[in-house]
Amino acid sequence: MFKAIFTNSFGILFSRVLGFLRDLLTASALGANIYSDIFFIAFKLPNLFRRIFAEGAFTQVFIPAYARSLHRGVFSANIFIVFLSIIILITLLVNVLPSLATQAIAVGFDEKTIELASPLVAINFWYLPFIFAVTFLSTMLQYKHHFATSAFSTALLNISLILALYFSHDKTQIEIVYYLSYGVVIGGFLQLLVHIIAIYNLGFTKLFLGGFKYLRVKSKLIKNETTKFKQQFFPAMWGNSTAQVSAFLDTFLASFLVTGSISYLYYANRIFQLPLAIFAIATSIALFPRVARYIKNKDEEKALAFLQKAFWFLTFLLTASTILGFLLSHEIIYFLFQRGAFNTTDTLNTTAVLQMYMIGLIPYGLQKLFLLWLYSKNMQMQAAKIATYSLGAYILFSLSLISPMGVSGLALASTISGFVSFILTLKAFGAKNFFAILLDKKALYLLLSSVLLILILLIFKDFLHAYM
């Protein structure tokens, strides 16, 4: 278990380090202004779909369905064709009507800004078909407990964007945004290429191509399987996408605030996503295939034992990350971004947003662990209801907090919705199961370690303030 977690974590860390280098260069080149807002808007919608697919619903429904299928090659080929066709149609529609798609993301933009952003939204959207194909192949690799390719492949996107910034260093800011947009699409293509190579090396090619070859002949044999998959997928997609939909609404509401607000949210969320991805997402990806198999074989005791180990491992790491991120938020933003066009005001505003995000790291991270249980037991509809309540809480608090707190109020509303989602997920998981996980001596060690860490960080923070 831990080998798979560390493989995922190291791969994600490597990608995120490159991502921070990319963000550092982007902040230096564009700062937090209308041009950075335009790029983040253009990349927002395909990135939203990527997170819903790659880190959520598709994987968590496909793996159990694939494990149960009696005709895996045909089943996988059918699902791939159906979903890719839908995504390509959506992408073509966005390219035909880019201004409508842009207005849907950023209603607060004026007509001139929408005119600038629309072609960039159309370009960025071609990332989506590539990343769906990547997600699909990645899910098949996960079933075989191969995680390295997917974990490290995101680095290719970041490398592509870094190169785009390098080649556009002497261009105008709008030209830099165009370079970045084409870099996104190239990065998606490179990610797909390495996954195809991994599928070939692991001997999946014959199964996959055989599924396409016999799809027409054997399509009736998988009718019930595909119907059940589709019925489970859409509740799962909704149930797993609350954080992503909240982030999308963040951007929508921030477009009505002062220029730079969208960028503040983006930069702060990038910091927030680092521990979430390295620890929570990496752990859930590594655990899910095993938990799904144990549940399928009616061995819930082993599944709970796996969750217990992961729970304490994850709780300690997320607690440490929350304390560190909150107390040192200003220093983190200053060190990473304050240079070039990114000024002191941008640092202060981004710091306030980051602190509000960091409060929600523990509930968002641990919820991903307990959602594995729900999806393994085909409780997709329950997860969808939880997401609906959580999103309702986000909308209520974002509208309440945006006026007194501005952009940081949107981040706090997202955090509150994370707590709502976590509590409801625990209720669905079951109090008996949860207390069985809590009855562990590691709880005492965690508490003592956390208190010690808080004291150390408070001293360290005062030391940093004395020399900065």
Q: Among 151, 132, 304, which Cα is nearest to 233's?
A: 132
Q: How far is CA 133 from the centre of its chain?
A: 17
CA 32 to mean position of chain CA atoms:
22
CA distance 343 to 363: 32
b/e per residue 313-332 (b: at least 16 CB within 10 A)? bbbbbbbbbbbbbbbbbbbb
State pLDDT tens for residues 151-187. 788 889 999 999 999 999 888 888 999 999 999 999 9
Structure tokens belonging to residue 162:
């870094």
Burial 335-361 (b: 16+ CB within 10 A, else e): ebbbeebbeeebbebbbbbbbbbbbbb
Query: So what's the pLDDT on residue 40?
Result: 81
Opening angle at CA 307, ends 302 and 308, nearest 5 = 95
* Phi (first) and psi of residue 87, to 5 degrees: -65, -40
**Closest to 142 in 3D by CA, of 313, 287, 308, 306:** 287
Residue 334 CA to residue 342 CA, distance in Å, equals 10
Rg of the chain over Cα atoms, rounded to whole angstroms, equals 22
Cα dist. 153→96, 158, 205, 270, 346 in Å?
Answer: 30, 9, 19, 18, 31
Scanning the structure block, which residue is given the tokens 């785009």? 164
Closest by CA to 102, choosing from 126, 77, 119, is 119
Average pLDDT, the chain: 82
Q: Report the 10 Å Cβ neighbour count for 162.
A: 19
Where does residue 242 rank: exposed (0-12), middle (13-18), buried (19+ CB within 10 A)? Answer: buried
Nearest to 418 by CA among 386, 447, 440: 386
Q: Is 28 helix (H, G, I), strand (E, B) or coil?
A: helix
Q: What pLDDT score was predicted for residue 268?
A: 92
Write the single-letter amino acid at 431: A
Residues found in the chain: 468
Tell me how far apart the alpha carbons of residues 339 and 143 are, in angstroms, rounded to a whole number. Answer: 44
Give the global pTM. 0.70
CA dist list (Å): 150 to 229, 282, 368, 426: 23, 11, 18, 29
Q: What is the largest CA-CA distance in the chain?
A: 73
What pLDDT does 420 receive? 94
Tens-digit pLDDT string for the chain (468 aa): 556 666 767 777 788 788 878 888 888 888 777 888 888 878 876 777 666 665 566 777 787 787 778 788 888 888 889 889 988 998 999 899 888 888 877 666 778 888 888 998 899 989 989 988 998 898 888 877 787 888 788 889 999 999 999 999 888 888 999 999 999 999 999 999 999 999 888 887 777 777 777 777 777 778 888 888 877 777 777 766 666 677 778 877 887 888 888 889 988 988 998 888 888 877 877 777 778 777 877 777 888 888 888 888 888 889 888 988 998 899 999 988 888 778 899 999 999 999 999 999 999 999 988 888 887 787 878 888 898 899 999 999 999 999 999 999 999 999 999 999 999 999 999 888 888 777 765 555 665 666 666 666 666 655 555 544
How many CA atoms does the CB half-sphere of 81 hold within 13 Å?
15
Angle at which helices 407-429 and 344-358 pack, to 10 degrees?
A: 20
- Token pair in block for residue 312: 């304490």
Print the SS3 string covering 106-173.
CCCCCHHHHHHHHHHHHHHHCHHHHHHHHHHHHHHHHHCCCCHHHHHHHHHHHHHHHHHHHHCCCCCH
Domain ranges in the chain are 2-467
d(CA 162, CA 172): 17
CA 170 to chain CA centroid, Å, is 32
Tell me if 417 sits within 8 A of 391, measured CB to CB. yes
Two tokens at 293? 């198999």
